[in-house]
Structure 1
Amino acid sequence: MKILDFLVLLGLHSAAAVIHSLKYIFTVSSQVPNFPEFVVVGMVDDVQIQHYDSITKRLEPKQDWAHRVTEDDPQFWERQTAGCLGYHQLFKGYIETLKHRFNQTGGVHIFQWMVGCEWDNETGEVSGFRQVGYNGEDLLSWDVKTNTWIAPKQQAVITKNNWNNDKAQLAYYKHTINQELPYWLKMLMNYGRSSLMRTELPSVSLLQKTPSSPVSCFATGFYPDRAEIFWRKDGEELHENVELGEILPNHDGSFQMSVDLNLSSVIPEDWRRYECVFHLSGVKDDIITKLDKTEIQTNWSKTGAAMGGVVVVLLLLVVGIVGFFLWKKNKKGKEGFQPANTSDASSSSSSSSSSTEVPVPDGNQPRSKEENELQ
């Protein structure tokens, strides 16, 4: 069983000394609705590089640079597609055998075969792996050191014995791990060099939701995803009062991660003893961010200032409305009083009314600070 005859494009993330991984996952399913019966996914350093399914019946590259392999081998994808068609039937037979071994008939069942290798591009050391799973549990695993199969499930013992007795197959497994996979890595890494071997450093920020919340050290925009981030105090890495988040992908293909530090028991004078460290694999210099209160980005301070401005404006509005109604009431009281009907009195009343008229703002008068902030 030469499962790696149709190996495809590989690549590397970085030219620096790191361990790179390659794996292929074959999945055959039974009675899974709205899902292809057979799927093949190829990944390098956990980045998908190829895909095949029994609906499209074609192996296709998932990265733009992967198309370049046809420059040297025009029939590459057609040949590998034919290989996938053959493995579909092979693994479909496996799932039927396992259903019989586990005394199963209908229902949903999933068989998976994962094969791949890890390679240290500095030392040249290579290690490989082969694993078989059934319905989400380990069924068989291949020990690269002893070149033998191990069966954690009783139902797989018969298969383990048969495969361990096939010396030709075991010799081929060893050859593919030590020779074929490293050869593909070294040869095909050039196709995706500009993409896979790039290194991008992140922007690092200190964030805090509320005055009592932990301070989060947030790094985003880095590549590849082989990175670590941690807090340290006086040069020593902290393991208490910290919470490390997962590495998550960004929409542009880069990554983000964060680590929180609980400062509830730390006095302000000691903040300067803390710093956040971001390390990207293969990059010599770390990014160090000192814990400085003035550098922390918050939502609560802006929200508090905005709410304060709104309160001031509302108070001014209430005062204005009350003042208007008091003026209106006072004006009505004066209009209700009828003075003596003499020419002198009428003239005096008219003059007084004109001189006490309340001026109306013309829009050119300076506004208060609160009014300007609302524009």
Structure 2
Amino acid sequence: MIENGTLAGGSFLIGTTVRDVFTYEDLTSDDAAIADVAESFVRRDVLPQVDAIEAQTPGLMRSLLEKAGTLGLLMFDIPEQHGGLGVSKAASTLIGERAFKLASFSIAWGAHTGIGTLPLLFYGSREQKERYLPRLMSGEMIAAYALTEPGSGSDALGAKTKAIPTAGGYRLSGVKQFITNGGFADLFTVFAKVDGEKFTAFMVVRATEGVSTGPEEHKLGIKGSSTTQLILEDVFVPAENLLGDLGLGHKIAFNILNIGRLKLGAAALGAARECLEFAVRYASDPKQFQTPLTDFGAIQRKIADIAVRIFVADAVRLRSAGHQSHRGVHDRAVGREGVRDRDARLRGRRGVADARRLRFRRRLPARAPVPRFPHQPHLRGHE
């Protein structure tokens, strides 16, 4: 059903035309090339250092992000007018999918290029972008997103961090929890309340007096990524570092999280492909009663089930990202609805696989079912 020229309810599920279907053929050669660069980088420079990454070897994650910067892998979402590559959303999700080989690195990389950098890109002033974007694209600065607090949990707007107006700016005090890249990030997007009620975003530089971080969290998975508290003790933030409009921080917070859902779904899709490839290799080798496991109907069905789920999730990703990139506002209901469930639960049944060899591939998918859903707190993940 169409109301006032826009899609209503679930009507985007019907009346599809050829024009509405975004496929791999719609990607450009440049899109495919940067995705190839990302995958090659991860296989060449990241995977050989799995053990060191998971042990959080000091400086290693940051050095890998800096190297990614030299290859242009920190600027693909940045428009050309700001010195970036300006790829489409479809290409961006393809890059995220192809590069997902180790969850710890992918989480750090995604937090920097996504929720860390995009608030500045979408809501920053010209001066703010000129000051910080080049350094974020090169890897000279690493970004982080600081929304969650120990006391407010999923109630983002219930934040206790306060910003007190003062001469030339604001003084921020509070604690943020579960901040990805917190241990080494240089620039934080921090949300605080001005005058106790105006929820507002600020850009806070680590080098500022009063900024510190807590110890690394001991996580069940994605151990190689940095997750800490961000502690603000009477931190002076100049007025020029207020991000967006006073009191409208909620728009920044939730719009950025919307994009994060799409990117997280693409990363989970990459994890699912890895699991499928490994499951097929594994099942093709052992034999029962002198017969490969892949000759048994039950195993074939499990593998086929995984392949079907991946195919469907890939179609959802392309449709969602393609609509955001190419179909305009009219059809973007698809982008808001599509990916958050199926993509996030891809790994539910991966057939036969060696848990030991899959231990690193399991990190993000174990987290994937709980991305941020502001209206469904029980499904919400951390920064």
For Structure 1 versus Structure 2, the TM-score category normalised by the shorter chain is: under 0.3
Structure with bigger strand share is 1
Write 1 or 2 for the structure with the bigger share of helix: 2
Taking structure 2 as the reference length, the TM-score comes to 0.25
Query: Larger Cα Rg: Structure 1 or Structure 2?
Result: 1
Identify the structure with bigger relative contact order (alpha carbons < 8 Å, sequence gap 6+). 2
